[in-house]
Amino acid sequence: DGGTAEYTIMVESDSSTPLSPPDYGTSYVSSSTSFADASLISIPITITGSGTITDLNIKVIVDHGYSEGLRWTTVSLLSPYGTSIILGAGDQIGGSWGANTGQLYNTIFDDEASTGIYSGTAPFAGSFQPSGSLASFDGQSITGAWELLINNGTSSGGTGTAEYTIMVESDTSTPISPP
């Protein structure tokens, strides 16, 4: 059954200059990819640009078909160098995403965020520190195939979609050598 919602927004303003939105650097966007029950998927982004990473952030959207699906889900980022960090994981697999957690909605993982991902609440809109450190990618070349890994451990209607954006600041220094 549909319904109607009414609301009022009241705004006070002044003549001051508004704050600029944060600049996360150059953005690289993946396509939206479906995932199934009890599956591991990889969502690639191939970056052909060059530069040495000085700061990397990632925006993630996960729409899990099961309202508590993130409890059995791990989200990780894998660099072209083979470096992998866990962005977040469910409480059923060693992380702390709790009950009623099925979505990440424009969740920005940023080492400089003031709140850790496990201190947030669903749908985790805004900026959060990841479980692992994105600084692990600093000094690496941005060039190559990046992968967002979604390890979906639920078989309770756990299908869904995921996509992400890598937001990177880089410079022209020489990157560290790959392993």
Residue-by-residue DSSP string for 4-73? -----------SSPPPPPP---EEEEPPPEEE-TTEEEEEEEEE----EEEEEEEEEEEEESSTTGGGGE
Question: Distance between CA 115 and CA 113 in Å, rounded?
Answer: 6
pLDDT tens digits, 91-122: 777 777 766 677 899 999 999 999 999 998 88
Q: Which pLDDT value is given to residue 2?
A: 62
Q: Which pLDDT value is given to residue 165?
A: 96
Q: Which pLDDT value is given to residue 157?
A: 66
Q: Which pLDDT value is given to residue 97?
A: 75
Q: Which pLDDT value is given to residue 3?
A: 67
Comparing 37 with 137, which gets the higher pLDDT? 137
Question: Distance between CA 24 and CA 49 in Å, rounded?
Answer: 16
**Residue found under tokens 């450190």:** 133
Report the run of H or E that residue 87 belongs to, with start and end.
strand 84-89
Residue 36 has pLDDT above 90, yes or no: no
Q: Which pLDDT value is given to residue 5?
A: 74
Residue among 137, 144, 142, 133 at smallest CA distance from 171: 142
Question: Distance between CA 128 and CA 108 in Å, rounded?
Answer: 6
Q: Which pLDDT value is given to residue 67?
A: 77
pLDDT tens digits, 42-56: 999 999 999 999 999
Percent of the residues in the chain that have a pLDDT greater than 70, as a whole number: 93
Q: Which pLDDT value is given to residue 1?
A: 55
pLDDT tens digits, 129-138: 999 999 999 9
Q: Taking the model in full, what pTM does it have?
A: 0.85
Taking residues 141-153, report their average pLDDT: 94
Q: Which pLDDT value is given to residue 98?
A: 67
Residue 172 has pLDDT above 70, yes or no: yes
